Amino acid sequence: MREPPRPSKPVRVSHVEMTEMVLPNDTNRLGNLLGGRLMQWIDIAAAISSWRHTNRICVTASVDELNFLHPIKAGEIVVLRASVNRAFRTSVEVGVRVSKENPQTGETRHTNTAYLTFVALDNDGKPVQVPACRPETADERRRFKDAARRRRLRLLHRHRS
- Whether pTM exceeds 0.85: yes
Counting every residue written for the chain, the total comes to 161
Check whether 161 has a pLDDT greater than 80: no
114 within some domain? yes
Whether 1 is covered by a domain: the verdict is no
Rounded distance between C-alpha atoms, residue 21 and residue 145, angstroms: 33
pLDDT at 2: 67
Pick from 133, 121, 106, 12: which is nearest to 60 by CA?
A: 121
Alpha carbons 3 and 9: distance in angstroms, whole number: 18
DSSP letter string, the chain? -PPPPPPEEEGGGG-EEEEEE--GGGB-TTSBBPHHHHHHHHHHHHHHHHHHHHSSEEEEEEE------S--BTT-EEEEEEEEEEE-SSEEEEEEEEEEE-TTT--EEEEEEEEEEEEEE-TTS-B----EEE--SHHHHHHHHHHHHHHHHHHHHHHH-
Domains in the chain, number:
1
Task: Report yes or no on 102 lying in a domain.
Answer: yes
pLDDT tens figures, 81-118: 999 999 999 999 999 999 999 999 999 999 999 999 99
Mean pLDDT, the chain, rounded, equals 95
Q: Under 8 Å CB-to-CB from 90, ≥6 apart: which residues?
A: 119, 120, 127, 128, 129, 130
The answer to the question of residue 23 being in a domain is yes
| 133, part of any domain | yes
Owning domain of residue 147: 8-160
Residue 6 predicted with pLDDT over 90: no
Domain at 149, CATH number: 3.10.129.10
Residue 2 lies in a domain: no
Residue 106 lies in a domain: yes
Proportion of the chain above pLDDT 90, given as a percent = 88
CB of 136 closer than 8 Å to CB of 84: no
Residue 66 lies in a domain: yes
Q: How far apart are CA 92 and CA 147, in angstroms?
A: 9
